[in-house]
Structure 1
Amino acid sequence: MDVFQEALQKGIKLRSRPLLDFPIKKEFHVRDFGAIADDRFPDTEAIQSAIEAAIRSQVPARVVFDRGVYRLNFPGGRDALRIEDASDLIIDGRGCEFVLMEPDKQLIGLRNSKRIILKDFSVDFEVLPHTQGWITAVDRKEGMITVRLDPNFPDLDQPHFRKADYKWGFIKDRNNPVAFKEGTEYRLYLTEWTKIADHTYRLKVRHKIKLQTVEVGDPYVQISRIDGALFHASRCEDVTFLNLRIYCSSNALFATSYCSRPNFIRINASPRQGRWLTSGADGCFNFGGREGPWVEDCYFESLGDDNLVIKGYRAYCVNVVDPYTFDLVHATLRFVRPQPNFEFYRKQDKENKWMVKPGDTLTVLDPVKREIVANPVVVEVASLDYGVRVKVDRRIPDLRPGTDYENSLSFFNEDACLPGFVVINNVFKSAVRFGCLVKSHDGMIAGNLFERHSDQSICILNTYQEFNGIPSNLLIKDNTFKLASGWPVKTAQTAQHKLNPNRNIFGVVQSSVNWPVGQWDIEEAAFREIRNISIENNRFINWWQNPAVVINNGLHVVIRGNYFELDEYHAQTALTGVPLAIKIVNSTDVQVADNVLNGPNLNPKEGIKIISSTAVRLKNNRKSQR
């Protein structure tokens, strides 16, 4: 039985296979519109003309390129190219390379389009959106570092560094600068810097304590991150990114919003030889949509944020019509301060409505009662100037308007949170934060390598920074996890690391349901609602500090046939004293069977910990005989 059939047998509803090709009726060559490879002239307008001609043809079409380099400028804004209101279109690079002429810009934006394939090209920048060098001095008392930049990389006085939305530095590994230095805080937040000599800067950090593990001689990278993505798509269906080579980006590599069935196939996002960073932000960020992404045979390395994110949008009620009818708008991020008022919410959604239609199932969470108060089905939807009016099939207890996440109801659409996702045979390597952040349901993560993530490799939770729905129905199988679960940072000042290490949100593979508290904190939920999670036949090698698998709030969980191995060095980092392979907390109906544990002090008796749980069945878990 292959892994797809196994997922279906477990009741996991997966999406359809990805769109990889289709017959065309017309072909448009960018050369015929004036875009000439390797001529050193900007080609943006000519390429855009070819794209628009293909769209106007209203038949399945292909836009093709010659091998060589096409320079892209930005006459129309942040995006060099755009595809809007299109269908059945292939952008076929045929091995060409796009070089963006400005470091803070983006390659392409797609909107309201269906059946689009972008394939067979690479992307780089003329002026890099990051720079790199070496630490030459550390002043822990004053909270300062001195950095000597590689003269082949941009100067920190260039505008894209001074104007960046996020001014962050990263400490890299001396033996492998593409990787991040283990044992250091994963980000240095910078407040200012001054040039003191050619290619040499003195920089001030926001938190002095973060410098305790920074040393002279450490490789250093500084980003010029801005919000956005190199490739971004909104309200599209069946968009495929295929056989792409991405060398760098100032922001996320890919971002989709309210897209159904986005596909990421054979993407190689890693630095060119001699560079130490790929992007200043996420690899593949997916936010809302009726069917989830398909991510296969991709290679992501050295990213400045999460490798892969899959989640939906939250909504607030801003008006109650009757016990069954109410108005919903998108909720903002909970860590934004000050929180927006009602007037903001009555303007925010004029163009972009919360995704919902009749037949959808909603989950309603009440942070005051600390309960799931309803799972109504939508029976009617009407568009308003400022949002959507929804009628449901049952009363919602204590239905009330409000836009305060600690006191107001939060609404989640279970049919628009990217369910049915597939993540198979990828490499997620050397990134800060999460390998894969899952806030969705019905998905499969199989055959992947997760290596060197500062936090969880697979994080299954509803809230840490952003408040989302509760994950369920997941198969995690045949993956390998190496060097993950929190670098040993005793000095960390980020919100997550300030949390008590005994909390149950930490682990290589981790699940939990939490309530947001304040701007950054959380409180673990009492109920058991992360349902039907299978973690099978995975390999966990040399994880840091926390347990390899942590299941909190679980219901109907299988942890079977996994192999756990620690060497002496990593075993000594365990914050729990004795290293833990598996930790089960506040869960019901959990099967832990046929797992093998190998390493110093790692054994089934002490390495599998059960806390406040019922119907946990332990069978044939054993110490390796090697």
Structure 2
Amino acid sequence: MIIRTLFLLQIGLFFCISPVIGFAGDKQIFNVKANEKINGNEVDSTKAIQTAIDAAIKAGPGSTVQLQKGKYRLSAVDLQPCLKIGHANGLIIQGQGENTELIITNPRCQAINLDYSKNTIIKSLVIDYDPLPYTQGRIIDVNAEDEYFDLDIEEGFPELDKPWFAAASEKNVAFGMLFDGNMPVIKANAPDHIFFKSWQKISGRVYRLNSRPDQKSKVAYIAKGDRFVLLARLAGGGAGIYFGDCERCGLEDVKIYASNSGAVIAVSCNELVFRRLEVKRRPNTNRLLSTDADGVHCQQNRVGPLIEDCLFEYIADDTLNIYCTVSRILESPNTSELILSQDCRLKSGDRLQIYNPREGRVLGERIIKALDELPGQRYRVQLDKSIEGILTGANHFEADTAFNLSASGQGYVIRNNRMIGQRRHGMLLRGGNGIIENNYIKDVRGLGIVLANDPDWPEGPIPGNIVIKNNTIVRVGDDFGYGHRVDSGAIQVINTRTGWNLGKGRDIRNIVIEGNKVIDPIGAAIFVGGARNVTILNNEITASEDSRIYEKRAAVRIANCEGVKIDGLSVVDPRPDCIAAVEILADTAADVNGVAITRLKAQLHTGAVQVIDNRK
């Protein structure tokens, strides 16, 4: 705990001093004026800003690119960034708040790309797309049997004959989301997405959308009058702002109103900081959506990030996703040597988590003593200690896998943020040594806070050493496929094996769930599965009698665990289908070695009980 506290202090200290680093020494300011129109024609400002960025990088640490009030229209060819920041150190990109807008005119390019940069910050500006990388409209006819519906596209939104929609269809990422017909929210108790094989123009702005055959059951949830958003998401090359191999960089007071992928994507970075970032629908518009994918998407980051005082609304995926990619174990020449795929970057000294995805068990952790790159995008890895019983293979379903704990975003801090209306989860966290505190999560259609691996996707590692404290979670999971699952929870802590089933190992360790408030849970408020040494302390769970609940559930459910301590739990739930305050499943360790419960207070419907213990 002392080590983790010192580390978090270092993260906080970095962001406090980073503006000072940026302005240190003989600073140079490079001003770029917003020339919106010349002789009535819109001006592309890409070259002017890029020239200023290049000059500021060359001038060295302390330089600032100053953007004035106004709208800067930016463009690039498909799958390329409008603005490139490479090998910068101590650079500041400074706007004038919401009066400085970067308008991206190609829905198939990034706004800003930062590579191999240090101590660089983007501040006080807005990013938006025109035209948008999605469209929306109202459903005027449905034929569930023939797997189609007719969509009347609203004025001001692009029609489906635009090339960015065709490109999404070719990449098999043409999907959309069903919205309520009367309110600008994702439709409750319905599938969260539908994929399409084709569409045709019927008349005017009306298009017939033909779902894929495997999506037929989802069309049955659509009603005439519902609204719908169809994405032109980029499977690769998209982002509002992309950080690659950056260190101690970040965003401050940036607003992102649209993106063709994640609002912010960070890959192989270290100690990034995002403060007062807002990802939301453009104000004073009828848009249903902000970004096409995650709010902040972090892959293979060494440390962090810190995400603080941010707002995330109506995102077409998860608010936050922190993880590392899988390394497939292709061969094991001996017990201390592995041949791994290069899906994840590795270095000497990195710590690997070796995982059996079929059973859902951690086989061990080993440090890389030495490694060599081999032809065919492979690593030869020498381990510090031998490991027995490894199963090798060509894919992540058949073979055991390795996850790089040293590049999984450990040490993240997620504090004082608001997350509202997302298609999927509030947070999806796979890295460890994290703190999640004082966040407000409401009406996301996935779950609120998820600590889990996913060997099917595949992402990992198994998380551990995490504090979830003083968060408020309101009415999450109200969508088919999330709240309906037996392992769902507004706070979900779960070790999964292939098939999205509960793992056999109790490998998630040292989790503290303290002082949280869960309001109107759709299923369980807290689910913990495949874990040990979990403290559930002073949490409050409340529900109104008329709020929705899927099937019969307990407020807290414990499965295949040991060393769980529940203390000071308060449950007020008058709904008949809330059958208990706590349910302990049969595969949990016996007596108090499995679960110890003290100071439990419960006000439940007549016939419900405080504890259901299936081990008896």
1:68 and 2:42 are equivalent in the alignment: no
Paired letter, 2:362: I
* 2:557 aligned counterpart, secondary structure: strand
For structure 1, which segment, 279-288 or 462-471, has the greater mean C-alpha deviation from structure 2 after superposition? Answer: 462-471
The correspondence for 1:511, drawn from 493, 508, 525, is 493
1:43 and 2:45 are equivalent in the alignment: yes
The percent identity for this pair of structures is: 26
Matches of 2:296 and 2:359, distance apart in 1: 35
1:140 and 2:144 are equivalent in the alignment: yes
**Greater RCO structure (CA 8 Å; 6+ sep):** 1
1:231 and 2:241 are equivalent in the alignment: yes
| 1:275-354 equivalences in 2 (<5 Å) | 275-318=287-330, 320=332, 322-331=334-343, 354=345
Paired letter, 2:491: V
Q: Deviations over 1:84-109 (max 9, x none)?
A: 12211111122311011112221011
The correspondence for 1:374, drawn from 349, 360, 364, is 364
How big is the alpha-carbon RMSD for the aligned residues of Structure 1 and Structure 2? Answer: 2.5
Tell me the CA shift for residue 568 of structure 1.
2.2
Tell me the CA shift for residue 588 of structure 1.
0.9
Structure 2 partner of 1:473? 465
* 1:213 aligned counterpart, secondary structure: coil
1:404 and 2:400 are equivalent in the alignment: no
Matches of 2:579 and 2:205, distance apart in 1: 56
Q: Deviations over 1:285-312 (max 9, x none)?
A: 0001220111111111111111100111
Tell me the CA shift for residue 9 of structure 1.
9.0
Q: Deviations over 1:140-159 (max 9, x none)?
A: 22122111111221112111
The correspondence for 2:227, drawn from 216, 219, 234, is 219
Structure 2 partner of 1:485? 477
Structure 2 partner of 1:347? none
Structure 2 partner of 1:269? 279
Paired letter, 1:225: R
Matches of 1:598 and 1:208, distance apart in 2: 39
Paired letter, 1:305: D
* 2:547 aligned counterpart, secondary structure: helix
Unaligned runs of 5+ in 2: 606-616
**Cα 1:377–1:90, aligned 2, differ >3 Å: closer, same or farther?**
same
The correspondence for 1:184, drawn from 166, 178, 190, is 190
Structure 1 partner of 2:158? 154
Q: Deviations over 1:254-293 (max 9, x none)?
A: 1111111121111111112221110111111000122011
TM-score of the aligned structures, taking structure 1 as reference length: 0.87
The answer as to whether partners of 2:360 and 2:505 remain within 8 angstroms in 1 is no
Structure 1 partner of 2:502? 524
Structure 2 partner of 1:202? 208
For structure 1, which segment, 367-376 or 451-460, has the greater mean C-alpha deviation from structure 2 after superposition? Answer: 367-376
Q: Deviations over 1:497-533 (max 9, x none)?
A: 9xx933x3x21111111222xxxx2342222111111
Paired letter, 2:367: V
Matches of 1:387 and 1:409, distance apart in 2: 16
Matches of 1:76 and 1:136, distance apart in 2: 33
Unaligned runs of 5+ in 1: 1-6, 332-352
1:121 and 2:125 are equivalent in the alignment: yes
Paired letter, 1:556: N
The correspondence for 1:167, drawn from 174, 195, 205, is 174
Matches of 2:117 and 2:333, distance apart in 1: 35
Matches of 1:412 and 1:439, distance apart in 2: 11
The answer as to whether partners of 1:313 and 1:330 remain within 8 angstroms in 2 is no
Structure 2 partner of 1:341? none
Paired letter, 1:190: F
**Cα 1:561–1:12, aligned 2, differ >3 Å: closer, same or farther?**
farther
TM-score of the aligned structures, taking structure 2 as reference length: 0.88
Matches of 1:203 and 1:603, distance apart in 2: 38
**Cα 1:35–1:195, aligned 2, differ >3 Å: closer, same or farther?**
same
Matches of 2:60 and 2:339, distance apart in 1: 38
Structure 1 partner of 2:27? 26
Tell me the CA shift for residue 63 of structure 1.
1.0
Matches of 1:551 and 1:117, distance apart in 2: 38
Matches of 2:123 and 2:554, distance apart in 1: 44
Matches of 2:161 and 2:579, distance apart in 1: 57
For structure 1, which segment, 315-324 or 459-468, has the greater mean C-alpha deviation from structure 2 after superposition? Answer: 315-324
The answer as to whether partners of 1:35 and 1:47 remain within 8 angstroms in 2 is no
**Cα 1:77–1:552, aligned 2, differ >3 Å: closer, same or farther?**
closer
1:394 and 2:385 are equivalent in the alignment: yes
Tell me the CA shift for residue 116 of structure 1.
1.0
Matches of 1:382 and 1:263, distance apart in 2: 33
Matches of 1:513 and 1:413, distance apart in 2: 17
Matches of 2:127 and 2:391, distance apart in 1: 49
For structure 1, which segment, 414-423 or 7-16, has the greater mean C-alpha deviation from structure 2 after superposition? Answer: 7-16
Matches of 2:604 and 2:424, distance apart in 1: 34
* 1:376 aligned counterpart, secondary structure: strand
Matches of 1:560 and 1:236, distance apart in 2: 38
Matches of 1:251 and 1:603, distance apart in 2: 39
Matches of 2:392 and 2:534, distance apart in 1: 36
For structure 1, which segment, 50-59 or 114-123, has the greater mean C-alpha deviation from structure 2 after superposition? Answer: 50-59
Tell me the CA shift for residue 330 of structure 1.
2.8
* 2:47 aligned counterpart, secondary structure: helix
* 2:164 aligned counterpart, secondary structure: helix
The correspondence for 1:555, drawn from 505, 516, 532, is 532
**Cα 1:384–1:208, aligned 2, differ >3 Å: closer, same or farther?**
closer
Q: Deviations over 1:360-393 (max 9, x none)?
A: 3221123467643332222234455644443222
